[in-house]
Amino acid sequence: MKTERLIDMLATDGSVADQPTPSRRFGIAVLGGIAAAVVLMALGLGIRPDIGIVVHAAMFWIRVGFAVAMLATALVAATRLARPGVTAAPGLAAIAMPVALIWALAAFVLVQAPEGSRLALLLGHTWRVCPPLIAALSVPAFVAMFWAMRGMAPVRLRLAGAVAGLAAGAAAVIAYCLHCPEMAPPFWALWYLSGMLIPAVVGSLLGPRFLRW
Amino acid sequence: MVSTNRMSTTVEAAEIVLRDCFLAGLAGDAAQYRAFLEGLTGHMRAYLRRRLPKAQDDVEDILQETLLAVHNARHTYREGQPLTAWLHAIARYKLMDFFRAHARREALHDPFDDEHERIFAASDDEPANARRDIGVLLETLPDRHRLPIVFVKLQGLSVAEASLASGMSESAIKVGVHRGLKALAARLRGDA
């Protein structure tokens, strides 16, 4: 087919009125991903029995706030990476902020803690299962985020995959917060972040293959 | 100095004209959208011929692939963003794809980053022949993709007419065109 004929073909309709807007795509993916993670958590792990009491604790909301901040900043980076010609740097810098804050809080708690209790603050009781459980809960959000990203036009596939995976991990942590008994910031800074990094690494590996267009 | 100024003026003018056509096209003006695609084709052909001095035979293929990619990604352009930056990122992505697929080392010796404006620096309306035939690839698509494209995009039927002619629902026709062009792009890069 001659290029002229291709232009004839494409020119008949450039309207984008029928297409879902990019922000809607990511919105659907995130809300669906969180909902699926909550259902999986409730059925498979169970909501922690003292949830009615713990919602009155500031630490509970700091923990949820960390997860929400990770999700929000990862989404900012994802929507930037989804568009050709938009620099990703501000989005990636945004992700570093909640990470820095949680590490600062963790360092503060560790410094204040009495000698000998620090390892317990870092490991809690559930450090072994925490990252794999978060990774498992992130699977639906991961698929949804990749679907949303595939509907866009990322040109840095590895990075786009990693950030989509990180957002899925953060969505999973929001659900996991309703189950997890750990209330020490050093634990979150270490293991929640590790849990989010698993889908992020998987995303960076799968991006070049599944996000091509 | 004078020639630099003249070039940047040409580039800015091209950006403004093409962006106006593009935005009107997105809003549903088919004639303006055609003008955009034709303008882009000229600039892109010159750009690729300059970029690929040793692979002139591939220029028309990459050009067609880029046109299809621009069309398929048109909803990702954000108003207010320089159109050149958006187009350049897509062109660059398609070129990298080409280099990866063909591993043409010698072509890589000519670096092409950070040259946004150069896309619009010149225009070339002399087509060469493409090696891969999009028409032939189109024939390999499944009916649910192929028929909507043939009826709506090639024969110029309305969605309603295409629906009657094919027995598919109107929404299936619309979805078929949209997905079909993406599937065509995948065939073109040798994926599916």
Contact A140, A32 (CB under 8 A): yes
Q: What pLDDT was estimated at residue B51?
A: 86
Q: Chain A neighbours among B 151-190 (CB < 8 Å)?
A: 152-154, 156, 174, 177-178, 181-182, 185-186, 189
B2: closest CA of chain A, how far (Å): 29
Contact A91, A81 (CB under 8 A): yes
Query: Which tokens sit at A96?
Result: 């570093």
d(CA B59, CA B46): 9
Chain B contact for A6, CB < 8 A?
A: yes
Q: What pLDDT was estimated at residue A162?
A: 98
pLDDT tens, A128-150?
999 999 999 999 999 999 999 99
Question: What's the whole-number mean pLDDT along residues A14-33?
Answer: 83
Count of domains forming chain A: 1
pLDDT tens, A96-115?
999 999 999 999 999 999 98
Chain B contact for A87, CB < 8 A?
A: no
Higher pLDDT, B176 or A205: A205
Would residue A17 count as lying in a domain?
Answer: no
Whether residue B49 has pLDDT greater than 50 = yes
Question: What's the whole-number mean pLDDT along residues B120-141?
Answer: 76
What interface predicted TM-score (ipTM) does this complex get?
0.88
Of B64, B88, B92, the CB nearest to A3: B64
Would residue A13 count as lying in a domain?
Answer: no
Split at pLDDT 50, 70, 90, the class of B106 is very low
Whether residue B1 has pLDDT greater than 80 = no
Contact B169, B144 (CB under 8 A): no
Of A14, A86, A213, the CB nearest to B30: A14
Would residue A90 count as lying in a domain?
Answer: yes
| H or E segment and range at residue B69 | helix B56-72
Whether residue B3 has pLDDT greater than 60 = no
Structural domain including A202 reads 23-210
A157: closest CA of chain B, how far (Å): 10
Query: Which tokens sit at B4?
Result: 């630099």
CA-nearest residue to B129 within chain A is A2
Query: Which tokens sit at B33?
Result: 């959208």
Contacts of B115 in chain A (CB under 8 A): none
Q: What are residue A21's phi and psi, to 5 degrees? A: -70, 150
Q: What pLDDT was estimated at residue A14?
A: 74
Name the average pLDDT for chain B: 83
Q: Which domains does chain B have, with CATH numbers?
A: 1-130 (no CATH), 132-192 (1.10.10.10)
State percent of chain B over pLDDT 90.
34
Query: Which tokens sit at A207?
Result: 């991006």
Q: What pLDDT was estimated at residue B79?
A: 84
d(CA B167, CA A181): 58
Would residue A9 count as lying in a domain?
Answer: no
